Amino acid sequence: MTVIRRRGWEIPERLATPEHLVFDRRALLAGGASLLAMTPYAAQAQRVGDLANLPDPSADLYPAKRNEKYTIERPITAEKINTNYNNFYEFNSSKNVAAQAQKLPIRPWTVKIDGMVEKPIEIGIDELIRKMTLEERTYRHRCVEAWSMAIAWSGFPFAKLVEFAKPLGSAKFVRMETFMDPKVAPGQRQTWYPWPYVEGLTMAEATNELAFLATGAYGKPISKQQGAPLRLAVPWKYGFKSIKSIVRFSFTDKQPKGMWEKLQASEYGFWANVNPAVPHPRWSQATEEVIGTGERVPTQIFNGYGEYVAGLYKGLEKERLWA
C-alpha cells in the first residue's frame, strides 16, 4: 500500500535477538528433548537461533475439517506463492517479508479481551485455540492495491470469539490490535506510522458468518508472514482490514480508527468494502491481478460475497462504504 510518507528520523539498528527467552511449557516439552544432550552454551544458542523452528504446540490440530459451504470456484493460490508475497508493514513495506517475519516469537502469545465485556481476560493462544472447533474454509482475498489470491484458511468463526468474550449490550464495535515490538519488527521503528496496527469491525460484521479468525493455512499452523498465530479474514473487505498477529480485542461503543485510516483517511476508511465501481483516489478497482497466474480478472462487488454481507449495509448508504 503506498502512502505519502512524512519524514521520520532514523532509529539506529539494534540487535534483534532477545536477551532472554521464555517459552511456554508445551513448546519446551515438545522441542526441548534434544537440548538435554547439548552443552548449556550450545543449547542456549540453539534456543536463541532456532526460535523460529520450535515445533508449533498446536500442530496436532491440523489439517482441520473442511467446511464445504465456504469454497470458491477459483484455484487456490500455491502456498509457496502466498507465503512469499505478503503485506506485513511491521517487518517492511515490500512484499518480501517472509524471512524477516520469522523473528516474530509466537509462543508464549497472550490475547487480551477487554472493554465492554462482562469480565476482561487475558488468555494464552493455545488455551484459546483449544476452546474452539477449527475448520477449513477457502476464501478469496482482495488487496486494495488491486491484486488477489485464494487461500485455504483454518480457524474459527469470529462469532465464536464474541460468544466467548461476552460483550455487553452497549458494545457496538470490536477494535483489534497487532503486537508491538520494535525490537523484532523493524517497520515499527519507522515512527511515521501510527503503530500498533489497529483495525475494527461493527458487532454485526464481526458476528457475520463469513468473519473468520485464522490460526492455520494450507492445512497447518499459519505462517508468521501470514499473521501467526491469529489473524482476521474478512474476505468481502479490502485486505488491510484483515489484521495480522492479533494481541487484543476491545469491545467499544466508539468506531475504531485503523492504522491506515489514521495515516490517510481519504484513501483507507473504516468500511473498506470491495467495489469495482468505486476507484481508489489513485487507481481503478475494476480489475485485479490474480497473483501467480499472470491474469487480470474483473473485481466483484463485496469481492463476490454479497449474498452473505450486503444486508449488513442496508440503511448505511450515506456512509463511505467502499473505501
Ligand X SMILES: Nc1nc2c(c(=O)[nH]1)N[C@H]1C(S)=C(S)[C@@H](COP(=O)(O)O)O[C@H]1N2
Interface positions with ligand X (CB under 6 A): 1, 86-90, 141, 143, 178, 197, 226, 239-240, 242-245
Q: Which is nearer to Mo ion, 155 or 239 (CB)?
A: 239
Among 229, 239, 256, 304, binds Mo ion (CB under 5 A): 239
Q: Which three cell numbers stand for residue 282?
A: 489513485
What is the spatial distance between Cα 268 and Cα 323, in angstroms, rounded to a whole number? 6
CB-based contacts of 127, cutoff 8 Å, min separation 6: none
Q: Which three cell numbers stand for residue 173?
A: 464495535
Question: Smallest gap, in angstroms, from Cβ of residue 289 to Mo ion?
Answer: 13
Question: Smallest gap, in angstroms, from Cβ of residue 226 to Mo ion?
Answer: 13
Q: Which is nearer to ligand X, 162 or 246 (CB)?
A: 246
What is the spatial distance between Cα 315 and Cα 166, in angstroms, rounded to a whole number? 27
Asked if residue 240 binds Mo ion (CB under 5 A), the reply is yes
- How many alpha carbons lie under 13 Å from residue 212 in its C-beta half-sphere? 27
- Nearest one of 59, 55, 61 to 29, comparing CA atoms: 55
Taking CA 213 as the corner, what is the angle to CA 23 and CA 144, rounded to the nearest 5 degrees? Answer: 115
* Among the residue ranges 89-97, 138-146, 213-221, 311-319, the one whose residues contact Mo ion (CB under 5 A): 138-146
Query: Is the CB of residue 190 less than 8 Å from the CB of residue 82?
Result: no
Asked if residue 157 binds Mo ion (CB under 5 A), the reply is no
Q: Which is nearer to ligand X, 156 or 238 (CB)?
A: 238
- How many alpha carbons lie under 13 Å from residue 289 in its C-beta half-sphere? 8
Question: Smallest gap, in angstroms, from Cβ of residue 316 to Mo ion?
Answer: 23
**Residues binding Mo ion: number (CB under 5 A):** 4
* Among the residue ranges 8-16, 135-143, 147-155, 278-286, the one whose residues contact Mo ion (CB under 5 A): 135-143
Q: Which three cell numbers stand for residue 179?
A: 503486537
Q: Which is nearer to Mo ion, 207 or 285 (CB)?
A: 285
The residues in 84-103 that bind Mo ion, with binding defined as CB under 5 A, are 87
Question: Smallest gap, in angstroms, from Cβ of residue 145 to Mo ion?
Answer: 6
Q: Which is nearer to ligand X, 131 or 192 (CB)?
A: 192
Q: Which is nearer to Mo ion, 23 or 260 (CB)?
A: 260
Question: Smallest gap, in angstroms, from Cβ of residue 226 to ligand X?
Answer: 4
Question: Smallest gap, in angstroms, from Cβ of residue 300 to ligand X?
Answer: 17
Question: Smallest gap, in angstroms, from Cβ of residue 270 to ligand X?
Answer: 15
- For binding to Mo ion (CB under 5 A), which residues are involved? 87, 143, 239-240
